[in-house]
Structure 1
Amino acid sequence: MPTLSSRLRSLLPDPGPARALTIASFPSSIGRGLFITASVVFFTKSVGLSPLQVGTGLTIAACIGLLAGVPMGHLADRIGPRTMTIVFGLVVAGVINLYFLVSTWPLFVAVASLVSVGQSAFQASRGALIAGSVPSEQRVRTRAYLRVVTNVGWMVGSPLAGLALFFDTRAAYASVIAATGAVTALGALLYLRVPPVVPQHASKRESISAALRDRPYVALTVLNAVLTIHFGITNVAIPLWVLERTEAPAWVVSALFVVNTIMIVTLQVRTSRGSATVPGAARAQRVGGLLLAGACMLYALSAGWPAWAAAAILVAGAAVHAFGELYMAAGGWGLSYELAPDHAQGQYQGLYNTGFQVADIVAPAVLSVAVIGLGWPGWVLMAACFATAGLLVPAAARWAVRTRPVTSEPVPTP
């Protein structure tokens, strides 16, 4: 029978850069779980901001963070992605502690914006570090391991933050903020275990606008952003849908989160197989889009049934949704890496990550209006969006392949 240690090791790739990258991501994932769970309550109860001020401030900060991905990724290409990953990780850890000084809404927006910029820069640099540290055929698999460990980290961090919610004191919430900064700093320092990646030679450097001028890559970023709106279904649409439009008990929302988490942790690496090439990645995103559309239709069917039947339909929808998420994520990793020039991975990953950030910003409003406002026709509309985006990905990927420049390797100047 497998031991606990062997099960834990199965969550990690083989020893080497991929394992070092995965281990380094774990502490910051715990911090993310801590922060997401308790931060809003800290801002409202301890700082004294209204929920509207918190939501508006975080939205403004997210919009400002959009501007950082491409230029900071370009900086990582020039200086070296490992160095900048560590630097940006430590910057985020330090800025998080500035939340202790927040007493007004403008100051909250300023600190949240600094955190958002730092996180965008960190993600772009880490993307370039992954690209430079592992062979191209292993990048998607490595990202799959990273996602598994990230989810495990959230599972660890969220219950710990629940202790602060239980005690409900400023000291308890402050300890969560401090712990978030500490584990984020630890995660940044652990990237020292990853071998350094040599900065790109001056003769191979792209201009800072290269990714933005790559129209097929921009198109794929937009399509991925549409598919990424599905994250808001789990976080925003489903809780509201269950409470307002179905007879299912409220506890089913937690059950759906559990279904999603278990499937991601146990199946992400397996479902990433075949997505390391452009055709395979495009097929994965197409499948992901169609599965997300199917999940939307199941969610729509859950209205008007008795509680037990509604709950069963919702669980089935969550399972289909999780499979769609698995394939969509794997396909996105493959496309983002394989279609980006190796000497500009930082700025290209920064651009691709911008799609995720845009989706995070627009998803709550779009889903609230479409699903809660329109009811089942809104689910049909979202299904059509996901299916259309998924079906367009292969054509956009072929366009991107046709436009990739064919160049010979320059000989470095001594």
Structure 2
Amino acid sequence: MSANYSQKEESKPPKKGRKLYKGELTVEALRDENDAFRGTGGISEESRAWGFRPAFYDMETATVHPSKFPNGSEAPMHVLDGLPAELIVSRQKNGKVNSVKPGVISGFVQNNRFYTREQAALATAQMRDRTQMLSNPEQHNQLLSVWEKFVVDQSYPSDFIRPVVEDSWRRCQQSHIDPELQHAPLISDNSLLEYRRFLQTDLMRAAQPIMKRASEVLFRSNSLILLADSEGLILDIHADDNVLSHASDINLIQGGVWDEKTAGTNAIGTALAAAEPVQLYGAEHFCAGIKHWTCSADVIRDPHDGRVLGAVDLSGLTDSYQSNALDFAIMAARLIESNLAKEYFKSRNHVIEATRTMFLGWKTEGLLAFDRRGRLVKANNQAHTTLKILGADLVLTPQCRLPALDLEMPDAPAHTPSWLLEQLRLPIELRGQRVGTLVVLSAHHK
């Protein structure tokens, strides 16, 4: 997925509050969804320029149905009337479709991939005014004076402080960060560090080719590129020995922890806190020991549900400042997300292929098919009714995730919800390899 996530409100669910329809999709529901997603890129007129075409996804068959008019021609907006007859539940007196069966989701198709409205909104989010995103090295000395006044009594001229920096400084004050801090904390326990890196295997695998290529471009540029997880822990770093020597002085190395609450204002932690691209120069950092560095970072989002997985950062000493460093970081983040998306859609297709006969064979039970990471791919019609009887608070959309079914997480069983404990769980296999989990729902255990 290719997107630039910038404005805070665009990196979160729509402010109007989307209704989650657990039952039949209706004409009224489509109108409510359009109202909720207007201005985010999650409606047809806003996503069309990016190649997104309105479509519907049938959770039971994993079939994508492009939105069509009754005559079969493609519709430029979401229209229920062109859906196959087997999906239709009710019609109005004039014959127009009023509702379709549960498990039909509105969204978009691009390059033969289905995106929910949330995913399309993330993929089409626009960047805000770039002048507010870039640092101004010429204001370094003035900012140092402002910072000194800020840490003493918070009585300071705000003319030189960009909003993203001022907001971060205030968060640092609230977290009681020591402004004289000389370096970030470091995880020195190698076994703990390797475990934390193991938990981010997917992210690191997606980032590896991007990081390698970036390091070749940055060779002898006095800059480094690094990958951090969602808590600011540096997972991987590429730089020449000279830059690494300086970086080690402040623990800007593998194992360094750069979340804002422990290291103060810095591009990694502040990008994670603000959920947007951030560039910082010298004095804009909150802690004294980091003020001779310049850094640019952007967050990396999960293509499945948009949650922040980590950040990619380009850093160097202040004399290595380049205004296009932020563009470089943003591009790297988008390329990493693209690699994550490829693996996500591949895993989804594996589950679809492996469960075709399974869903034909079970007629009376509710079925839920999840991929290896516990992400829902398919759900039959009976699943909606059974989950309601079980009292399970689970919304069956392609963005549903059950951590208890994540085969890559060692502590997954600890997250098992009570309703799932007594349900039959079967491995989904494709060509001799496990690709997911099939949950066979029964209300008789309740």
Shared fold, TM over 0.5: no
Give the alignment's TM-score, normalised by structure 1: 0.20
Q: Which has the higher helix share?
A: 1
RCO (CA 8 Å, sep 6+): is it higher in 1 or 2? 1
